[in-house]
């Protein structure tokens, strides 16, 4: 019997223990030496796939062999998001306490669809999102729920907005309804592509999304929003929701949420605040203004996996009207009906995904490990580094800063044409020490330096600046014939 169990069960626990200790040592070494890898992977398209067999093995293999392939084949194809020279997109951190928590989540393998399948996961989620809500200064009237990504959080927010605006939309949908005009959702021209994907998915159509002009600091112009709403209304559209962004993806600009909120209130529109990246900064004294007006919003998304040191994926949606999300999605088949000793929250009722991973554990451990004070200090340090870099750019004759720096991202370009800036970015990234990404601002190719990894120090930012300057000089130098 025990032979058969061993043969047909899971990996032997003693083998797991040995291999897991090996993996832990590898991870600890990796955390201490991630800066020795090229931050941006240098493999060619197709190289990883070509190195792997086309069929699963017929017989099981020892872990050593898989781990050896992981190191030999897969590691060269890793772009190191935990590298101190990762300055692309939004720079993030899979912090050590978060990794420890994730190890426990994986081992417990809790599936948090119902309270009874996961009392701790369900209630710790409530506690952890309440902690974060208070740190950010949001009112307790916001109920929070954890999803995987901001795309899914925003999707649920706009589904709730649709539920609020269109009678019986859950039952009847949108087609063949003379009583339902075409719907409109508003955001700035700098808002995130997840909003486009949400309106498409929700059956409103991409044309439902009207992008509002920004001022010269990339912030939505409230008067333009009001005018668009008036125009649409008189043309028979039904305005449904506005998405204001606190920390846009290109420049981290902050829309004037308070003004936008007043317009929403006047017209009865759902206000969703996309604070996925920058929302956490509201916990810093002096930065409360970024969420002014957001306390009266209907929903707000913030991603601890962005600038709160939590391993990917963990997004929090706060909603003052979670009843509408439940109204839109709660649906209990016979096989999931449960009766508990007291009313409970079943996470499956707050969204499309039935199953939920035990994600709150990592948010809770990250918040406790660093403490509110420790998190504030780290965010402040990232902003200090960004300001420092911005000053270097400003002081340089060869570079131009292209946008204000409210948080930890700097947008800039070499004072040259787009082609040179593109070559500059490619050359800098090819070096392996740093990885920056780009955007387009005022229709010009623009470089972005984003700070958000806990390993990034002033020395790394200075090195990035040195590499940019040197490479720019090399590219501008007259080519010797």
Binding residues among 238-277 for a copy of itself as defined by CB under 8 A:
249-250
Give the burial string for 224-246 (b: 16+ CB within 10 Å, else e).
bbbebbeebeeeebbbbbbbbbb
Our CA angle for 86, 312, 315, nearest 5°, is 120
CB 304 to a copy of itself: min, Å: 12
CB of 480 to a copy of itself, least distance (A): 28
Nearer to a copy of itself, 330 or 475 (CB): 330
Q: Which of residues 12-71 bind a copy of itself (CB under 8 A)?
A: 13-17, 19-21, 23-28, 30-32, 40-41, 43-49, 52, 54-61, 63, 65-66, 70
Of these, 290, 365, 410, 467, which contacts a copy of itself (CB under 8 A)? 365
Is residue 395 near a copy of itself by the rule CB under 8 A?
A: no
Residues 293-312 that bind a copy of itself (CB under 8 A): 305, 309, 311-312
Q: Using CA atoms, how far apart are residues 115 and 120, in angstroms rounded to an integer?
A: 8
CA distance 235 to 237: 6
Q: What gap in Å lies between CA 253 and CA 268, rounded to an integer?
A: 25
DSSP assigned state of 283? G
Stretch that binds a copy of itself, among 224-232, 292-300, 366-374, 394-402 (CB under 8 A): 366-374
Task: Evaluate whether 458 touches 388 at the Cβ level (below 8 Å).
Answer: yes
Q: Are 12 and 6 in contact (CB under 8 A)?
A: yes
Angle between helices 96-108 and 360-395 (to 10 degrees): 150
Q: Which of 75, 227, 230, 466 binds a copy of itself (CB under 8 A)?
A: 75
- In the window 204-223, what residues touch a copy of itself (CB under 8 A)? 204-208
Q: Does 80 bind a copy of itself (CB under 8 A)?
A: yes
Read off φ and ψ for residue 211, nearest 5 degrees.
Answer: -95, 130
By CB under 8 A, tell whether 440 contacts a copy of itself.
Answer: yes
**Edge-to-edge strand order for the sheet containing 270-274?**
143-147, 315-319, 299-302, 270-274, 238-245, 183-188, 209-212
Site for a copy of itself in 106-165 (CB under 8 A): 106-111, 115-120, 123-124, 126-127, 130-132, 134-135, 148-152, 155, 159, 162
Residue 102 sits in the site that holds a copy of itself (CB under 8 A): yes
Query: Strands (DSSP E) along 7-142, which ranges?
Result: 86-87
Find the binder of a copy of itself among 193, 442, 480, 481 (CB under 8 A).
Answer: 193
Binders in 327-356 for a copy of itself, by CB under 8 A: 328-329, 331-337, 340-344, 352-355
Which of 157, 164, 183, 290 touches a copy of itself (CB under 8 A)?
Answer: 183
64 vs 215, beta carbon nearer a copy of itself: 64
For residue 335, what are the contacts with CB-CB under 8 A and spacing of at least 6? none
Among 9, 139, 167, 268, binds a copy of itself (CB under 8 A): 9
Size of the site for a copy of itself (CB under 8 A): 179
Q: In angstroms, give the least distance from the CB of 261 to a copy of itself.
A: 25
124-to-146, 336, 360 alpha-carbon distances in Å = 11, 21, 6
CB nearer a copy of itself, residue 13 or residue 266: 13
- Closer CB to a copy of itself, residue 226 or residue 352? 352
How does 110-148 read in b/e, with b if 16+ C-beta sit within 10 Å? bbbbbbebbeebbebbbebbebbbebbebeeebbbbbbb
Contact range with a copy of itself by CB under 8 A, out of 223-231, 262-270, 289-297, 452-460: 452-460
- 170 counts as binding a copy of itself under rule CB under 8 A: yes
Which range in 191-199, 253-261, 288-296, 472-480 contacts a copy of itself by CB under 8 A?
Answer: 191-199
Residue tagged 């941006």 (tokens) = 40
């Amino acid at each position: 019997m025990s032979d058969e169990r061993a043969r047909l069960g899971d990996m032997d626990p003693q083998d797991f223990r040995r291999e897991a200790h090996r993996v832990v040592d590898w991870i600890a070494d990796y955390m201490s030496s991630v800066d020795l890898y090229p931050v941006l992977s240098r493999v060619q398209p197709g190289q990883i796939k070509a190195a792997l067999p086309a069929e699963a093995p017929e017989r099981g293999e020892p872990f050593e062999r898989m781990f050896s392939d992981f190191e030999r084949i897969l590691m060269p194809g890793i772009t190191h998001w935990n590298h101190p020279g990762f300055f692309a997109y939004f720079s993030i951190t899979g912090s050590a306490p978060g990794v420890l928590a994730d190890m426990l989540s994986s081992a417990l393998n809790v599936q948090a669809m119902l309270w009874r399948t996961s009392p701790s996961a369900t209630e710790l989620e409530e506690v952890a999102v309440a902690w974060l809500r208070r740190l950010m200064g949001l009112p307790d009237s916001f109920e929070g729920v954890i999803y995987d990504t901001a795309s899914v959080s925003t999707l649920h927010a706009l589904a709730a907005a649709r539920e609020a605006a269109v009678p019986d939309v859950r039952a009847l949908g949108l087609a063949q309804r003379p009583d339902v005009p075409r719907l409109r959702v508003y955001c700035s021209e700098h808002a995130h592509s997840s909003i486009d994907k949400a309106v498409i998915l929700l059956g409103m159509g991409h044309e439902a999304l009207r992008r509002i002009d920004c001022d010269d600091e990339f912030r939505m112009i409230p008067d333009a929003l009001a005018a668009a709403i008036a125009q649409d209304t008189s043309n028979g559209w039904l305005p449904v929701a506005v998405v204001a962004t606190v920390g846009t993806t290109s420049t981290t600009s902050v829309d004037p949420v308070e003004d936008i909120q007043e317009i929403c209130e006047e017209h009865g529109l759902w206000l969703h605040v996309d604070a996925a990246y920058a929302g956490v900064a509201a916990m810093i004294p002096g930065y409360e203004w970024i969420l002014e007006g957001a306390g009266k919003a209907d929903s707000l998304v913030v991603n601890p996996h962005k600038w709160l040191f939590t391993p990917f994926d963990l997004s929090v949606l706060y909603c003052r009207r979670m009843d509408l999300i439940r109204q839109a999605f709660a649906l209990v088949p016979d096989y999931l009906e449960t009766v508990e000793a007291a009313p409970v929250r079943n996470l499956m009722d707050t969204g499309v995904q039935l199953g939920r991973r035990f994600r709150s554990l990592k948010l809770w451990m990250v918040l406790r490990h660093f403490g509110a004070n420790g998190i504030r200090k780290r965010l402040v340090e990232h902003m200090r580094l960004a300001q420092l870099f911005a000053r270097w750019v400003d002081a340089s004759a060869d570079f131009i800063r292209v946008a204000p720096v409210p948080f930890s991202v700097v947008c800039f370009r070499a004072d040259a044409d787009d082609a040179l800036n593109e070559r500059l970015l490619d050359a800098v990234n090819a070096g392996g020490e740093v990885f920056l990404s780009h955007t387009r601002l005022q229709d010009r190719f623009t470089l972005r330096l984003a700070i958000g990894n806990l390993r990034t120090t002033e020395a790394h930012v200075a090195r990035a600046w040195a590499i940019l300057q040197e490479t720019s000089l090399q590219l501008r130098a007259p080519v010797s014939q």
